[in-house]
A = this chain, B = another copy of it.
Amino acid sequence: MLQMEEAIEILQEQVTAIRETEQIPLLEAVGRILAQEGRAGLDQPPFPRSPLDGYAVRGQDTEGAGKENPKLLQVIGKIYAGEAFSGRVGENQAVRLMTGAPIPDGADTVIRQENSDYGEDQVQIYQSSKPYQNYCYQGEDYQAGAVLLKQGQVMDGAAVSVAASMGLQEVSVYRKPRIAVISTGDELTEPGIPLKAGKIYDSNLYLICGRLAELGATPVYSCHWDDEPEGLAEEIRKLAGKTDLIVTTGGVSVGEKDIMHEVIRLLAARQLFWRVNVKPGAPTLAAVYEGTLIICLSGNPFAAAANFELLVRPVMGKLTGDKRWMVKKIRARLETDYSKPKGSRRFLRGYAEDGKVWLAAGNHASGALSSLVGSNCLVEILPDQAGARKEEEVWVYLL
């Protein structure tokens, strides 16, 4: 049977990273992937800046100054932050200035106001200062031409603020991925509608849409579909080309109502694979129709959940260029025993913390959903293992 890593490679080959861009206001870019380089157009700060409230002077004029031996300087101006000053500080002159104000030409240091008599026309300086003490250099944070933001990086709060500091009002980001999610199955009822005999509520649609939204990609289309292959094929025909990826749940096994095989046939879509060596979720089916990848997950809730993490997320990572979609794998010490028959590569729900991992209490069946709440990882038990014992090291896939 196809190995999971092979399946991931086959799926990733079918998608190309989104390259269409959009220009959006800076704050709307939070969480998006930058499509441009962020190169500084000016030094930051753009001028030598005072780091405190005080007097801009020539250091040499303060030599030997002290409380007992003040230096008297002539105050030739006053600069608040945000103001420009065209004068020049000459010998035995000073300019009163506030934090953030530009240090005027001629001056090479700033005397803290607490070390003066706060004079307005003349000022007594009580401390000497060396040139470039209390002096914030032009370009100290960054210099014009520096690449501060890289194409392909996530625009987080820090990146947004750095872009603002460069004067960028808008940035170019890659467009959002367009994902369609379809749950199939005659047995599924939309939440909110009274349940008839033999029916259950549709949780898969909410699981896949919910996880996508949680990870930053609200689907552009989501719908439940009954087991009617013709109608569903027609719907997928309409969605292809308008979406980057279609994820379905249900109908992938071998029964009469496992309609996804028929849907693929009706579409004359190119089947990539059916069945992957992963439990739960082995019958995952994948196809390409008119360039749009279709990943058909099992209808068992935990099988759909696990294969979303294992197979769909790497595809989202390739598509968006956003590494956060890639599931991080770590080694952790199992705190719970578990046994299984050899032969299958099993993924279990668990909770990992500080290098330890506990299997979720309760039902591990692929049809059981509720123990997914509170789980934060999948625990892998390899095919050649008949389970795993407490204190054994296992691979853990952090969700």
* CB-contact partner of A84 in B142, B196, B369, under 8 A: B196
Interface centre among A31, A156, A215 (most CB of B within 10 A): A156
Q: Known interface pairs A198-B84, A367-B45, A369-B161. Does A214 touch B166 (Cβ–Cβ under 8 Å)?
A: no
Are B210 and A27 within 8 A (Cβ)? yes
CA distance A206 to B282 in the complex (A): 46
Are A256 and B98 within 8 A (Cβ)? yes
Q: Known interface pairs A165-B203, A256-B53, A372-B158. Does A198 touch B82 (Cβ–Cβ under 8 Å)?
A: yes
Are A100 and B195 within 8 A (Cβ)? no
CA distance A234 to B206 in the complex (A): 46
Q: Is A373 an interface residue (CB 8 A)?
A: yes
CA distance A31 to B209 in the complex (A): 13
Q: Known interface pairs A81-B257, A158-B305. Does A367 touch B200 (Cβ–Cβ under 8 Å)?
A: no
Interface string of A243-275 (1 = CB under 8 A from B): 000000000011111000000000000000000
Are B142 and A187 within 8 A (Cβ)? no
Are B164 and A205 within 8 A (Cβ)? yes
Q: Which residue of B lies closest to A355 (CB)?
A: B355
Q: Is A162 an interface residue (CB 8 A)?
A: yes
> Which residues of the partner chain B approach A197 to less than 8 Å between Cβ atoms?
47, 84, 102
Task: Say how many copies of this protein the assembly contains.
Answer: 2
Number of interface residues of A (CB under 8 A): 97
Q: Known interface pairs A99-B255, A198-B84. Does A192 touch B169 (Cβ–Cβ under 8 Å)?
A: yes
CA distance A160 to B185 in the complex (A): 19
Are A156 and B210 within 8 A (Cβ)? yes
Q: Is A317 an interface residue (CB 8 A)?
A: no
CA distance A161 to B301 in the complex (A): 9
8 Å CB contacts to B: which residues of A104-155? 113, 136, 140-142, 146, 148-149, 153
Q: Is A240 an interface residue (CB 8 A)?
A: no
CA distance A83 to B165 in the complex (A): 62
What is the distance, in angstroms, from A60's C-beta to the closest C-beta of chain B?
Answer: 25
CA distance A120 to B392 in the complex (A): 49
What is the distance, in angstroms, from A349's C-beta to the closest C-beta of chain B?
Answer: 9
* CB-contact partner of A198 in B53, B83, B142, under 8 A: B83
What is the distance, in angstroms, from A205's C-beta to the closest C-beta of chain B?
Answer: 7
Q: Is A211 an interface residue (CB 8 A)?
A: yes
Interface string of A284-322 (1 = CB under 8 A from B): 000000000000000101000100000000000000000
* CB-contact partner of A367 in B140, B190, B202, B368, under 8 A: B140
Interface centre among A84, A195, A199, A204 (most CB of B within 10 A): A199
Q: Is A363 an interface residue (CB 8 A)?
A: yes
> Which residues of the partner chain B approach A99 to less than 8 Å between Cβ atoms?
253, 255, 257, 299
Are B213 and A100 within 8 A (Cβ)? no
Are A148 and B373 within 8 A (Cβ)? yes
What is the distance, in angstroms, from A46's C-beta to the closest C-beta of chain B?
Answer: 6
Are A162 and B203 within 8 A (Cβ)? yes
Are B160 and A210 within 8 A (Cβ)? yes
* CB-contact partner of A206 in B148, B163, B254, under 8 A: B163
> Which residues of the partner chain B approach A153 to less than 8 Å between Cβ atoms?
373
Q: Is A49 an interface residue (CB 8 A)?
A: yes
